[in-house]
Amino acid sequence: MNTRKLGRSDLMITPIGFGAWAVGGPWQFGWGEQSDRDSIAAIHQALEFGVNWIDTAAIYGLGHSEEVVAKALRDWTGKRPYVFTKCGMVWNEKGEAGYSLRAESIRRECEASLRRLEVDAIDLYQIHWPVDNLAETAEGWTTMAELQKEGKVRWIGVSNFSVQELQKAKGIAPVTSLQPPYSLVRRDAEKDLLPFCEHENIGVIVYSPMASGLLTGAMTHERIAKLPAGDWRRDNPDFQEPKLSQNLTLVDRLRAIGARQGKSPGEVAIAWTLRNPAVTGAIVGARNAKQVDGIIGGATFRLTRQEITELEAGE
C-alpha cells in the first residue's frame, strides 16, 4: 500500500487508517456494546493488509478504545503502526462528556493517554474539538506545542476546526493536520477547509468517509430501526427521514459502480473522498475482521471521472 506524507511532518501514512471510535464500546456517543476480541481481530486484520496508522481518542468509551488499541499492539508482532489520539473531551464521575482545553486538563489527558496506550510518545496528538472561548482554544494549542517540545507527542494536529480557528492556531505553532468530517453526504469541507489546508500544506485525515456506516451497503430501513439503544446513530438526522431514503438511493449508485469494479459500496465511498488532492488519508472504522475485508480496497481503488460524475449526480 502506498503512503503519503502528512503535512510537514515525517509521518508517511497509508491512504486509510483504522478508526477506533466504535471499538470503545458504549458511552454517551458510542456504538453500543462491542466485543474486545472482535475489535482486536479487526485491528490486526487492518495491519495485515498494510494499514500503518490507528486513530483513537481518550473519550471513545471513556478510555476503553485506547486500552483496546494497546492490547491489540501488545500482541502484534509486525511493524508497529503510528498511533494517533485526541484530547479536549473529558468526562466526569457519572460518565458525562464535556470539553476543556485548559493547560492543566490537556496535560492530565496526555499522561493518561500515554499510560493507556502504553507508549512513550504519541505520534499525532490532536485537539478533538475547539471550544467557544478563543482564549481557551489558544491556551490548549499552546500547551500542545509545549508537549511536542517536551517529547511527549511527536506531532500536533486538530479536529473539527474552522479556517479561522486554523489561522489562529497556526499563529501560535505549526498545525500538522486537520481532521474534518467528509463524505458524499457531508461535503461542506470542500468550500474553504480543504483548499486552505492544501494551500498551507496542512495534512488532512477525514473521518466518517462512509458516513458512520450509512454508505457501506449494509444499512437498510429495517436494520436502522433495530439499532441498539446505545447507538448514537439512532438520533442522527442522516439515519432518519427524509434524509435516510435519499442516502440509501446514493448507496444504490455506490453499489452499481462497485459491482462493475468488484468493489463494495463502502470501498467506492472511501475512494471518492481520497480522490480530492487535499485529502491525505481517510479514517475507516471496523468492529470485526470481516468488516475490514469489505473496506480495505478503498485505499487503492481509483474512480474514473465518469464514475465521480455518476456518484455526484444527485447532489
Domain regions of the chain by residue span? 4-314
- Which CATH number does the domain 4-314 belong to among 3.10.20.90, 1.10.10.10, 3.30.230.10, 3.20.20.100? 3.20.20.100
CA 196 to chain centre: 20
How many whole angstroms separate alpha carbon 147 and alpha carbon 145? 5
Identify the CA nearest to 191 among candidates 207, 180, 201, 202: 180
In sequence order, what are the residues at sequence separation of 6 or more whose Cβ sits closer than 8 angstroms to the Cβ of residue 143? Answer: 101, 103, 106, 107
Instruction: Confirm whether 60 is a catalytic residue.
Output: yes
Residue 187, all three cell numbers: 461535503
Is 283 within 8 Å of 207 (Cβ atoms)?
Answer: yes
CA 182 to chain centre: 10
pLDDT at 251: 87
Number of H helices, E strands in the chain: 11, 12
CA 272 to chain centre: 16
How many whole angstroms separate alpha carbon 232 and alpha carbon 307? 32
How confident is the prediction along the chain (315 residues), in pLDDT tens digits per residue?
899 999 999 999 999 999 999 999 988 787 778 999 999 999 999 999 999 999 999 999 999 999 999 999 999 999 999 999 999 999 999 999 999 999 999 999 999 999 999 999 999 999 999 999 999 999 999 999 999 999 999 999 999 999 999 999 999 999 999 999 999 999 999 999 999 999 999 999 999 999 877 888 776 667 777 777 767 676 777 777 777 777 788 888 999 999 999 999 999 999 999 999 999 999 999 999 999 998 999 999 999 999 999 999 865
pLDDT at 219: 67
